[in-house]
Amino acid sequence: MPRLNRIVETALYVDDLECSGAFYQGKLGLVPLLTTRTLLAYDVGGSSVLLLFQRGASLQTQNSAGGSIPPHDGSGPLHIAFAIDKEELPAWEAKLDALGIAVEGRMQWEHGSTSLYVRDPDGHLLELATPGLWKTY
């Protein structure tokens, strides 16, 4: 059986693309790869891409010279986890505090990982996790 190698993209659907862009780029420091009127794409650590779609803007098939992308969308608060270095955990805590971003939860995992939980402007739950969370991380 062929295998899946990794997740390349993760998508979140947002109500205000400009506000969300200011959060992810301005506060979390993500680097934009693509900006359109309905989509922001960000590099995450040089190994994955975070897509922010304007909610409702991708409900129709999108056609181009290269082919087509089927309709998709989402609603409600979703969850994603970002990998951070263990030694940068205190710096992340200080940065979040300085930016007025409340840490809603903190978890010490049995294999030594620590996770911090915060919300983005659309209420999505973002996890900042140090190594050891999973067998693969």
Residue in 9, 18, 88, 127 annotated catalytic: 127
Alpha carbon of 35 to those of 39, 43, 54, 82: distances in Å? 6, 12, 12, 21
Question: Any catalytic annotation for residue 87?
Answer: no
User: Tokens standing for 35?
Assistant: 């900006």
Round to whole Å and give the CA distance between 41 and 50.
6
Q: Contact at 8 Å (CB) between 78 and 53?
A: no
Cα(24)–Cα(12) distance, integer angstroms: 12
Residues known to be catalytic = 127
